[in-house]
Structure 1
Amino acid sequence: MHKKLRLRNRADFGRVYRNGKSFANRQLVVYWSRRPEVEQFRLGISVSKKIGNAVVRNRMRRLIKEIVRLNQDKLISQVDIIFIVRKGATEMGYAELEKSVLHAFRKAGLLKATK
């Protein structure tokens, strides 16, 4: 994922948490906030130590980044997105996790309208 598509600054995370909207399911929580001054979406991923050791946490980050990368053409632009991974996501395979991420995007209204 390109550096310009990453959400890394603590102030940006705080702004999305404070002013953004959220949707949650058993595996993920997604926060999002409109950001007209950025040209594309930006993504941040938060995985708590409660989820598992560093190997598990980094695997979850890599899987979610890959799912978003492969589906980035379906996402709306000018939005900051934060994923918080829940314990249920660690037990899922790639296909199930992809389905859950796309479900969260759909429910949050972050997918482009299809023709």
Structure 2
Amino acid sequence: MRLPRKFSISNRVDFARVRELGKSRPGRYLVVSVLHSDELEHFKYGLITTKKVGKAHQRNYFRRVFRSIMQNHGEEICEDYYIVTIARWRASEASYEELEREWLRLAHKLGVLTPEGA
């Protein structure tokens, strides 16, 4: 599944609303926050990589990794959720497979994945 631009969260207000009103689960390498919204036609995702993760090329790498995970598992994600993924400073220690496994585990715990995708 290719993720068009309309699937990404671009407003600072939406990021803040997900963090304040939504549910959040921390993991070793990342934190996933979700907010259910009946008004959405499809899920929207946001990626946060701070300077604690590393220099610009490392932050860009993690954005590409998380975008790839969302593309690979996009059909399994429920349609009515805002999803924000935050990379922790330990993310640079993890492989792609570890990051994907952890993201799926946290998404499953938060109830974002459809029963077929769980």
TM-score normalised according to structure 1 size: 0.95
Matched, 1:19 2:54: no
Secondary structure at 1:59's aligned position in 2? helix
8 Å CA contact 2:53, 2:59 repeated in 1: yes
Report the Cα offset of residue 5 of structure 1: 0.3
8 Å CA contact 2:24, 2:33 repeated in 1: yes
- Structure 1 ranges of 4+ moved more than 6 A: none
Q: Distance in 1 between matches of 2:51 and 2:97?
A: 24
Match of 2:42 in 1: 40
Matched, 1:104 2:102: no
Secondary structure at 1:17's aligned position in 2? helix
CA RMSD of aligned residues (A): 1.2
Q: Using the TM superposition, name which of 51-60 and 29-38 deviates more.
A: 29-38
Post-superposition CA distance 1:77-111 (Å, at most 9, x none): 11100011012221211111111111111111111
Report the Cα offset of residue 114 of structure 1: 2.6
For residue 68 of structure 1, the aligned residue among 67, 70, 88 is 70
Q: Distance in 1 between matches of 2:98 and 2:20?
A: 30
Secondary structure at 2:83's aligned position in 1? strand
> How many correspondences in the alignment?
115
1:11 is aligned with what amino acid? V
For residue 78 of structure 1, the aligned residue among 74, 77, 80 is 80
Matched, 1:49 2:59: no
TM-score normalised according to structure 2 size: 0.92
Which stretches in structure 2 are left out of the alignment for 5+ residues? none
Which stretches in structure 1 are left out of the alignment for 5+ residues? none
